A = this chain, B = another copy of it.
Amino acid sequence: MPVVKHNASQPAKARHQVFSLLLDNRPLVDSILGRPGRKSTVSPEKLLDQTARLADIQRQLRAADAADILESLPLDKRLAFWRLIDNDKRGKILVEISPVIRHRLIADMNPGDILKAVRPLEVDEQACLAHYLPRDIVSRMLTALEPRQRAQARAMMNAERDSVGRYMDVELATVRPDVTLAVVQRYLRRRRTLPKNSDKLFVVDRKNQLVGELALTAILLNPPDKQVAEVMEANPAAFLPDDAAGDAAGAFERYDLVTAPVVDIKGKLVGRLGIEHMVDVIIAENDETQRRLGGIGPAADIYAPIRNTLRARWGWLAINLAAAFITSRVIGLFEGTLSVLVSLAALMPIVAGIGGAGGNQAMTMIVRGLALRQLAKGSVVFLLLRELGAAVINGLLWGGIMGLVTWFLYRNAGLGGVIMLAMLFNFILAALMGVMIPLAMARLGRNPAARSSVMIAAITDTGGYFIFLGLATVFLAHQA
């Protein structure tokens, strides 16, 4: 018996092969893409052989691995590899691949190929792709479905973004509560298939009302003459199509669910949520937070051409430039003071910078608390007081250190006192903003991580310069 191989090694090998064939191999890429070849020393036979090897590799890849490799390839190599992938595999790959890239791959296909690629997919997968397809193809895709499936696909396409309705499967296996497990087993053997990752059947009455769930393990572990109603879970965790997908993912994590029923407000079974989609939701939510904190827009394919890169980033740069400009004008107010005591110019970024770091820490605490749903309403006062306390201690400590260093460096006790006071005040300002801004964002229904960081940075910067230069003007300007 062969030693079982670690599963990560097979796709890694294929990935390596694809890369070594395509990277630094412009003649091959040109020939696959049918671009007018520049003078090339490579023989056509060799190109054909390499093309055949690539086609061989893709045939042995699972859709998810093919999607991974496509995502890792730079633009023209990605397109070249895509052209070689069999059409019946392309549908699954389009479902798996990230949305930005999905657009570009679909744009490379002709309508006939698209239809052939999507038709073998399940209804929920077709509905998921529909938003990325040309309108006339969507209507031809829908026409090909049975009326019941068409209605389901339409409902899913119209479901709110980030709602449970978008992520649910509609292929369901149901049983009645009043039959025996032996009957259920006969039914399953006739049925021959179950939806992917099924760990349970749904128990419904004649009106399709959900009355319970029957775990596959319950069928296997109990005597066949038991009734479904005796061994089912009669109080299952169920979701509504309008529930937020993020909340549902949280419930899956808390209760260690694998699948869960989706019911309408009357309790009728309409779909099924699977952990595989909930994992995607968790990953996508985290990715969005990280992306927004870094200031890049949603069209952020790592191999995007410069044009898209610039488009995904200009908004953030504009906001930052505007904030920096305001800061600059605040400093400009104090040119008089600066001209008499030029050392202030060297010291002022310290006050601004440390305030930014402190504000960011307070903000991260609150954003995490919100994300992990640990923030109780009555505790805002506690958090604010705790952050203010920490700010005072940090201000006295770090401000004190910098005050002493400044005194020593510039032989000027007043300057040391001013920088200490300014750091203390800016820490307090940063703590206030770090707590209040993300809470306000959350109250307004915005992603609290999104715009909070730039607002806090802007306020602690401007505030830091204003406080420091203001104090210096009051206490030190006469020293000139």
Q: How distant is A261 from chain B, measured CB to nearest CB, in Å?
A: 8
What is the total number of copies of this protein in its complex? 2
Instruction: Pick the residue among B256, B302, B323, B350 that contacts A325 (CB under 8 A).
Output: B350
1-26 of chain A: CB within 8 A of chain B: 1-8, 19, 23-24
* A362-396, CB < 8 A from B: 363-369, 371-379, 382-383, 386-387, 389-390, 393-394
User: A461 within 8 Å of B by Cβ?
Assistant: yes
Binary per-residue interface labels of chain A (25-56) against chain B in the complex, 1 for a CB within 8 Å, 0 otherwise = 00000000000000000000000000000000
Interface SS of A by simple majority: helix
A258 and B74 contacting across the interface, CB-CB below 8 Å:
no
A166-197 near B? 1/0 per residue, CB < 8 Å? 00000000000000000001001101111011
- 8 Å CB contact of A68 from B279, B345, B373: B373
Report A258-314 residues with CB < 8 Å from chain B CB: 258, 260-261, 263, 265-267, 274-276, 278-280, 282-283, 286-287, 289-291, 293-296, 300, 302-303, 305-306, 309-310, 313-314
Bound-complex Cα distance A102 to B338 (A): 53
**Which A residues from 391 to 406 make CB contacts under 8 A with B?**
393-394, 398, 401-402, 405
In the docked arrangement, what's the CA distance between A65 and B197, Å?
A: 26
Are the CB atoms of A342 and B338 closer together than 8 Å?
A: yes
CA–CA, A377 and B371, complex, Å: 34
Question: What per-residue 1/0 map shows which CB atoms of A338-358 lie under 8 Å from chain B?
Answer: 110011111111101110111
Q: How far apart are the CA atoms of A7 and B365 in the complex, in Å?
A: 28
CB distance B461 to A317 under 8 Å? no
Q: Within 8 Å CB of A356, what residues of B?
A: 320
Complex alpha-carbon distance, A383 and B303, angstroms? 7
